[in-house]
Structure 1
Amino acid sequence: MTELPRFVIDESAHNAEADIWFAEPAGFTTIPMRALLHTPDSPGSEALRGAIAPILDSVQDGLARKEFLAQLARGQQLLAALADVGTTRCSIGLHRDDVSNGDSGGHLFSLLTLSWRDIATAAPAVTAARAVAAAEGHTHIEYLDLPCGPASFSELVRTPNAESGLPQTPLLQVFAHLPHPDGKRLVSLTLGTTAVNRRAEYRSLLHHIAENVSFENPLLEAEAIKRAAAGRG
């Protein structure tokens, strides 16, 4: 007998303003973007303190706390840059690498983001095609019909410019382009990792995430079923 997958319902799934629902696989930790984008002297400073308090409370050394706050400032700059291009959700993936070189002690890191983009009104199938038609350098392009509608997938390997100051390490980015049914918006799910040699696994992982995307609240049907069952009881 096949065991059904288990899901933990995040409180964000009950947000009355939510317009997309999806499931993150095990191994991903959501970054509280909205809280971390606040500054200590802003109206949202309480949310910022609440987000970093568990880490600060665990660091007793004063020098280490200063280093953490310095890294936090740099992290906030990166999150602000993501927010500027429509990113609303960001998660860090940590998975054990039990394949490469037979080493079961290594770990694989990844970054999963969800971004929104306003587009010219078009049928979802057209939008899905357009999303990759002008994507320069993208490879392994696919078109699929998912439960949430038509979608396109692609991937790209980038290497940071030397002027950027970032390590010259190739970065694999796998994309899922999901048109909203209203025909006016496009959702992009992006999974990035430096483990370029594991592209097949990350490609499969993003496919599974995209397959669970819904633009209609899936919890409403479940709640209706529960109420109906309670009524029969």
Structure 2
Amino acid sequence: MASLKQDWITEGWIDFEYKKYTLMAYLQGVKQNFKQSRLFPDLPSVEKHYEAALNLKDSKEQIVASFPKKLKGIDLKKKQFIYEKFQESEHLSEIDSILEYSLPLFQQTLTEGQSQYADIEAKLNFMPVGIIPLHLKEGYVFIYRGHNSETLIYQYQIRLVEHNNQSSVDTTLVDTVRKSFTTTFENLKLNLIHKRRELPNPATYLVESPTDYPVQETLLPIAKKWIVNFDKQHTIRQR
């Protein structure tokens, strides 16, 4: 996993060349992961870095605008005061250079990752297995890759994250089952109900992929998003 501190621009030695190579090393690692279809956690990380850089740029402009300005003269024709231009410190100038260099690169990498995410998502099938129960906050998700005879079975639970009022999905791998032509996903669900009595009527979903995409870094995060969206839509229909 590629990593970059959230405060990488202002932390430590503020030098354009140093920060440039720090960023290049990070993005090189991200793009290498993207080439291997490993989208998470790098894709949301790049998005956070891009938004943080934008916020820093806006904040810096507001700070500079708030500095007291020295009166230079008066423009009688325009009827306005003329102030000396604020002279930025060396550090602020370096941060300017870092932001101007990094923002387009973050945006480009983010666009590439989002495009790849959309391409992969379009190739997957997501469907409920069996009857949909009323309670969708917990259950199972099957991940089946067409070129792999194994079905990964995860137990999931949707929880509300209090600080941002968003839903998050916790998953635990509970079984790996070798699937044959005679074994249906409905049968796998029934076997789970018999073996794991704590969920007598579980919501169960299937994520089917034609390609062996990475599970932890791609398929499972996409599945979590679909589970949350399905739960939201189901809740709206019940109202």
Between Structure 1 and Structure 2, which shows a larger proportion of helix residues? Answer: 2
Between Structure 1 and Structure 2, which shows a larger proportion of strand residues? Answer: 1
TM-score, normalisation: structure 1: 0.28
Greater RCO, CA 8 A, separation 6+: 2
